A and B are shown apart, each in its own frame.
Chain A
Amino acid sequence: MEPFLRIEGIAAPLHRPNIDTDAIIPSREITSPEREGYGEKLFAPWRYLGPDRRENPDFVLNRAPFRAAPILIAGDNFGCGSSREMAVWALRQFGIRVVVAPSFGAIFRSNCLRNGILPVVLPAATVAALAGRAEAGDLVLAVDLGRCLVTTPDGSAHEFAVEAREREMMLEGLDDIDLTLSRAGEIEAFQARDRVARPWIWSVAP
């Protein structure tokens, strides 16, 4: 996985609660089992108008300078709904590396961490203030995972929390399957005990 160290760039405001993964990428846009090709489809229901899919000029990510924003500022419960990882692939392939919100859908958050997108949780009032300032199109934020800080141009810094292991995985771009497989001995010992303690789990009929 691509490591995440520090991102500095324009922040785009999409500050409303409960933006779900159906809005980020509707089921009908998922036409291939591949992991690529989702950047164009990000927020398709809001980003495009009509059957000919012309751009909706009012949608934030269709406006300069937000088209190139690597940071999205969102509302409460961002990414709720379907577990579809395509929602995260769409954000990443569009160019988003950081989403700042008061809270996230649990599966979406977990998917972000595995795809090089940093989900940053800040207090609701802070997020609302940042979103308000971002409307003008000149809010450049620096998001530093090493120091767990979001810094604004005027120097004010907002600390965020990331669990230590998740932080290390992102900073190093580690493959967590390899890390787990390095514990194969412990896994096998557990399973040997479990076959004795809960044999019904292991006797799966054909």
Chain B
Amino acid sequence: MGVRGTKPHFAANMAPRTIVDKIWDGHEIADLGGGQSLLHVDRIFLHERMGPALLAGLAQAGRAPAHPGLVFGVIDHAVETLPGRLERSRQPGANVFVTGFRASTKAAGIRLFDLDDPRQGIVHVVSPEQGIALPGCTLVCPDSHTGTVGGIGALAWGIGSTEGEHAVATQTLVRARPKRMRVELAGRLAPGVSAKDLVLALIGRFGAAGGDGHAIEFAGEAVRSLPVEGRLTLCNMAVEFGAWTGIVAPDEATLAWIAGRPYAPTGAMFERAASHWRSLASDDGARWDATRSIDCAALAPQVTWGTSPEHALAIDGVVPDPAHAGGAAAEALERALAYMDLVPGAPIAGTPIDAAFIGSCTNSRLTDLRAAAAIVRGRKVAAGVKAIVVPGSSQVKREAEAEGLDRDFREAGFEWRESGCSLCFFAGIDSFGSARRVITSTNRNFEGRQGPGVRSHLASPATVAASALAGCIADPRRAGGG
């Protein structure tokens, strides 16, 4: 297949391989010994939060991007998401990052999807949406949720900014081949149960360090039956499982999802790429360093009660009692209970909330917004609850508006905002005001993550929507609609 040089490009290794090994082998420039590889990086994404320091570091060392055309900049982290942000940015703290990033990307010859660009959005929503992230490609970004795009079969992972300098300067990274874990998600999800519930259940079952630095392939019937957006959600949370990254083998659903996107190959080139993408699935008999499984058929919607994503429980469950844990574990549970102001043994459903948030790289895509809108349509957010929707990208926002979802949300009492990372974390810009207890479709319920003293309950968009209407944590299966 037109392979030149001394090293076969798509190694015709006879031993059965995992999808991770196939992509790794196809990107290994050199074996550096000691298990380390010099690996080609196909795509680099930067954002305004880490990008300026990264590009300044490069410039100070007198270095330039090796392939600026393979590097993309997005503005998402530090910007406010209230409507009208283009006319009046009220945030001096953010402006230094935004203006700095504009200047440094321009100087480095890196294209930027700026605030007024129709392609602007959260980096991990934008990269697959635009067809820039592709199956089988390697992609890095100085953001921990970069593994999101494993949902389309890319090998993608988050890095720091110093490592990012290496990536931009050389279009490569040095890394040890990861251990591989196969997570079998058996059975089909029941109605009202989504990818978010599935991954929260996984983390709840095996712990926030359960992924133990592995590259995880999510496989099984539940994964196959997920829409591509759900697979992105699943891989997004792999890092909250302590995994290095997550990936789902591309299938016909993936290929159909990618076809026609702005940067995706077209025509004969698409067919050629597609035949390569189809070859990436893990071989039968491939060796895994670890395997885990979950039966998804009986799974209920999940919600977190505490300050780690591992503090997940079924929506009809009760807050755990530290007395049933031992030693340091009990201490950690007590600390989480105190922060969250919850009582052991209390049902989690019915806990009153002050705010509800739908957004973030985890759950802000069109299918997420549809699931939530179906629940709130024709109903009202409970009195006293601040409810906010932040679409994951400007394109998602336009598509949702074309379907009238913005009207459903607004009429129910939700704020409908501009795209960005927004209230996934509190950067001193957007805030929940005086709200203390928040149900949120984001990825992290850490102490103070969404604001000083804010108590975050992670859940699916449907559960957030149902809870916003009820004024307390509520089971979306009883909310009707979707």
Query: What 0/1 readout, one digit per residue, does chain A (83-121) give for beta carbons within 8 Å of chain B?
Result: 111001000000000000001011100110011000000
Q: Which residues of chain A are near B270, meaning CB under 8 Å? A: 200
Closest to B111 in A: A206
Is A27 a contact partner of B427 (Cβ separation < 8 A)? yes
Closest to B40 in A: A190
Q: How far is A182 from B159 in the complex, measured between Cα atoms in Å?
A: 22
Q: How far is A143 from B270 in the complex, measured between Cα atoms in Å?
A: 54
* Max chain B Cβ within 10 angstroms of own Cβ: one of A23, A115, A177, A186: A177
Interface residues of A in 173-206 (CB under 8 A from B): 176-177, 180-181, 183, 186-187, 189-194, 196-201, 203-205
- For this complex, into which size category does the number of interface residues on chain B fall? 35 or more
Q: How far is A141 from B3 in the complex, measured between Cα atoms in Å?
A: 54
Query: What 0/1 readout, one digit per residue, does chain B (259-288) give for beta carbons within 8 Å of chain A?
Result: 000110100011011001000000000000
Is B169 a contact partner of A177 (Cβ separation < 8 A)? yes
Closest to B70 in A: A204
Q: How far is A177 from B38 in the complex, measured between Cα atoms in Å?
A: 12
Closest to B53 in A: A33
Query: What 0/1 readout, one digit per residue, does chain B (207-249) give for beta carbons within 8 Å of chain A?
Result: 0110011000000000000000000000000001010100000
Is B328 a contact partner of A75 (Cβ separation < 8 A)? yes
Is B1 a contact partner of A177 (Cβ separation < 8 A)? no
- Determine if B171 is an interface residue (Cβ-Cβ < 8 Å): yes
Is A81 a contact partner of B446 (Cβ separation < 8 A)? yes
Closest to A168 in B: B34
Is A107 a contact partner of B449 (Cβ separation < 8 A)? no
Q: Which residues of chain B are near A183, meaning CB under 8 Å? A: 29-30, 38
Q: Which residues of chain A are near B176, meaning CB under 8 Å? A: 163
- Determine if A32 is an interface residue (Cβ-Cβ < 8 Å): yes
Q: How far is A22 from B1 in the complex, measured between Cα atoms in Å?
A: 48
Is B160 a contact partner of A110 (Cβ separation < 8 A)? yes
- Determine if A165 is an interface residue (Cβ-Cβ < 8 Å): yes
- Determine if B69 is an interface residue (Cβ-Cβ < 8 Å): yes
Q: Which residues of chain B are near A31, meaning CB under 8 Å? A: 93, 96, 428
- Determine if B124 is an interface residue (Cβ-Cβ < 8 Å): no
Q: A35-B53, A176-B174 are in contact. Are A22 and B33 (CB under 8 A)?
A: no
Query: What 0/1 readout, one digit per residue, does chain B (29-56) give for beta carbons within 8 Å of chain A?
Result: 1101111101010100000011011001
Q: How far is A191 from B66 in the complex, measured between Cα atoms in Å?
A: 12
Is B332 a contact partner of A17 (Cβ separation < 8 A)? yes
Q: How far is A88 from B63 in the complex, measured between Cα atoms in Å?
A: 23
Q: How far is A172 from B163 in the complex, measured between Cα atoms in Å?
A: 18
- Determine if A30 is an interface residue (Cβ-Cβ < 8 Å): yes
Contact of A114 among B144, B163, B335 (CB under 8 A): B163
B4-12, B292-300, B340-348 - interface stretch: B4-12
- Determine if A45 is an interface residue (Cβ-Cβ < 8 Å): yes
**B176: min CB distance to chain A, Å:** 6
**A28: min CB distance to chain B, Å:** 4
Contact of A204 among B26, B50, B69, B427 (CB under 8 A): B69
Q: Which residues of chain B are near A30, meaning CB under 8 Å? A: 49, 427
Q: A103-B212, A107-B158, A183-B30 are in contact. Are A177 and B166 (CB under 8 A)?
A: yes
**A195: min CB distance to chain B, Å:** 10
- Determine if B367 is an interface residue (Cβ-Cβ < 8 Å): no
Q: How far is A107 from B428 in the complex, measured between Cα atoms in Å?
A: 25
Number of contacts between A and B (CB, 8 Å)?
Answer: 200
Q: Which residues of chain B are near A41, meaning CB under 8 Å? A: none
- Determine if B172 is an interface residue (Cβ-Cβ < 8 Å): yes
Q: How far is A28 from B244 in the complex, measured between Cα atoms in Å?
A: 26
Q: How far is A129 from B265 in the complex, measured between Cα atoms in Å?
A: 57
Q: Which residues of chain B are near A81, meaning CB under 8 Å? A: 144, 444, 446
- Determine if A80 is an interface residue (Cβ-Cβ < 8 Å): yes
Q: How far is A22 from B142 in the complex, measured between Cα atoms in Å?
A: 15
- Determine if B322 is an interface residue (Cβ-Cβ < 8 Å): no
- Determine if A52 is an interface residue (Cβ-Cβ < 8 Å): no
Closest to B55 in A: A33
Is A164 a contact partner of B34 (Cβ separation < 8 A)? yes
Is B165 a contact partner of A196 (Cβ separation < 8 A)? no
Q: Which residues of chain A are near B426, meaning CB under 8 Å? A: 26-28
Is B33 a contact partner of A80 (Cβ separation < 8 A)? no
Q: Which residues of chain A are near B331, meaning CB under 8 Å? A: 16
Is A34 a contact partner of B144 (Cβ separation < 8 A)? no
Contact of B162 among A85, A196, A201, A205 (CB under 8 A): A85
Is B427 a contact partner of A165 (Cβ separation < 8 A)? no
Q: A107-B159, A165-B34, A200-B265 are in contact. Are A77 and B209 (CB under 8 A)?
A: yes
Q: Which residues of chain A are near B310, meaning CB under 8 Å? A: 18
Q: A23-B447, A107-B144, A190-B40 are in contact. Are A114 and B162 (CB under 8 A)?
A: yes
Q: How far is A107 from B239 in the complex, measured between Cα atoms in Å?
A: 10
**A30: min CB distance to chain B, Å:** 7
Is B5 a contact partner of A193 (Cβ separation < 8 A)? yes
Q: Which residues of chain A are near B50, meaning CB under 8 Å? A: 83-85
Q: Which residues of chain B are near A45, meaning CB under 8 Å? A: 447-448, 452
Is A199 a contact partner of B3 (Cβ separation < 8 A)? no
Is B172 a contact partner of A187 (Cβ separation < 8 A)? yes
Q: List 16 A-B contacts (CB under 8 A).
A: A17-B209, A17-B328, A18-B208, A22-B444, A30-B427, A31-B428, A85-B160, A103-B212, A103-B213, A106-B242, A187-B40, A190-B29, A192-B5, A196-B4, A200-B272, A201-B42
11 additional contacts (CB under 8 A) given A20-B444, A177-B165, A191-B171: A27-B428, A82-B425, A83-B142, A83-B144, A163-B176, A180-B174, A187-B172, A193-B5, A198-B26, A198-B136, A199-B272
Binding site for B on A (CB under 8 A): 15-18, 20, 22-23, 26-28, 30-35, 45, 75-77, 80-85, 88, 103, 105-107, 110-111, 114-115, 128, 163-165, 176-177, 180-181, 183, 186-187, 189-194, 196-201, 203-205
- Nearest first, the 3 A-B pairs at minimum CB distance are A33-B52, A111-B160, A200-B265
